[in-house]
Amino acid sequence: MTQLSQDCFVHGGELMRLEEGLDLIRSRLDVTCVIESVEVSEARGRILACDVKANGSVPPHTNSAVDGYAVYHSDLNSKGETELKVQGRVPAGHPFLGQAKRQMAFRVFTGAMIPEGEGDAGPDTVIMQEDCRRSGDRVWMPPGIPKGANVRPMGEDVLAGAVVLKAGRKITAIDQALITSVGVGEVSTFARLKVALFSSGDEVCEPGSNLGPGQIYDSNRIVLRGLLKALGCVVTDLGILPDKLEECRGAIAQAAQSHDLLISSGGVSVGEEDYIRAAIEEIGRIDLWRLAIKPGRPLALGTIDVPDRVVPYLGLPGNPAAVIVTFLQFGRELIMLLAGGKGPSPRLYPVVAGFSYQKKPHRREYLRCVLNHGDGGQLVAHKAGKQGAGILSAISCAEGLVELPEEMEYLVEGSVVQFMPFGEFR
Binding site for ligand AMP (CB under 6 A): 199, 201, 203-204, 216, 218-221, 265-267, 269, 317-320, 390
Nearest distance in Å: CB 352, ligand AMP: 33
* CA 189 to chain centroid: 15
Give the total of residues touching Mg ion (CB under 5 A).
Answer: 3
User: Does residue number 267 form part of the binding site for Mg ion (CB under 5 A)?
Assistant: yes
* From Mg ion, ligand AMP, none, interface partner of 354 (C-beta below 5 to 8 A by class): none
For 229, residues 6+ apart whose C-beta sits below 8 A from its C-beta are: 235
Q: What's the angle, vertex CA 198, arms to CA 19 and CA 321, rounded to 5? A: 50
Nearest distance in Å: CB 275, Mg ion: 9
* From ligand AMP, Mg ion, none, interface partner of 218 (C-beta below 5 to 8 A by class): ligand AMP
Residue nearer to ligand AMP on the CB measure, 126 or 255: 255
* CA 269 to chain centroid: 31
Distance, CA of 157 to CA of 425 (rounded, Å): 29
Report helix, strand or coil for 421.
strand
Residue nearer to Mg ion on the CB measure, 267 or 331: 267
Residue nearer to ligand AMP on the CB measure, 259 or 297: 297
Q: How do 261-265 and 194-200 pair as beta strands?
A: parallel
Residue nearer to ligand AMP on the CB measure, 168 or 318: 318
* From ligand AMP, Mg ion, none, interface partner of 232 (C-beta below 5 to 8 A by class): none
Nearest distance in Å: CB 228, ligand AMP: 14
If residue 393 lies in a helix (H) or strand (E), which one and from where to where? helix 392-397
Residue nearer to ligand AMP on the CB measure, 57 or 220: 220
Distance, CA of 377 to CA of 419 (rounded, Å): 16
Quote the DSSP letter at residue 12: -
Report helix, strand or coil for 326.
helix
Of 201, 232, 312, 400, which lies in the binding site for Mg ion, with binding defined by CB under 5 A? 201
Nearest position to ligand AMP, beta carbon: 318
Task: List the helix and strand counts (H, then E) for the chain.
Answer: 8, 30
Q: How many CB atoms lie within 10 A of CB 219?
A: 15
Residue nearer to Mg ion on the CB measure, 22 or 279: 279
Residue nearer to ligand AMP on the CB measure, 330 or 357: 330
* From ligand AMP, Mg ion, none, interface partner of 269 (C-beta below 5 to 8 A by class): ligand AMP
Residue nearer to ligand AMP on the CB measure, 119 or 208: 208
Distance, CA of 275 to CA of 253 (rounded, Å): 14
* Residue range at the interface with Mg ion (CB under 5 A); choices 55-63, 201-209, 275-283, 405-413: 201-209
* From ligand AMP, Mg ion, none, interface partner of 403 (C-beta below 5 to 8 A by class): none
Please spell the DSSP secondary structure of 332-384, one letter per residue: HHHHHHHHT--PPPPPPEEEEESS-EE--TTSEEEEEEEEEE-TTS-EEEEE-
Nearest distance in Å: CB 296, ligand AMP: 12
Nearest distance in Å: CB 417, ligand AMP: 28
Distance, CA of 291 to CA of 293 (rounded, Å): 6
Q: Calculate the alpha carbon distances from 364 to 2, 72, 291, 338, 360 in Å.
A: 33, 65, 9, 25, 9
User: Does residue number 312 form part of the binding site for Mg ion (CB under 5 A)?
Assistant: no
Residue nearer to ligand AMP on the CB measure, 312 or 318: 318
Nearest distance in Å: CB 19, ligand AMP: 24
* From ligand AMP, Mg ion, none, interface partner of 123 (C-beta below 5 to 8 A by class): none
Nearest distance in Å: CB 252, ligand AMP: 16
Nearest distance in Å: CB 255, ligand AMP: 17
**8 A C-beta contact, residue 186 and residue 226:** no
Enumerate binding residues for Mg ion (CB under 5 A).
201, 266-267
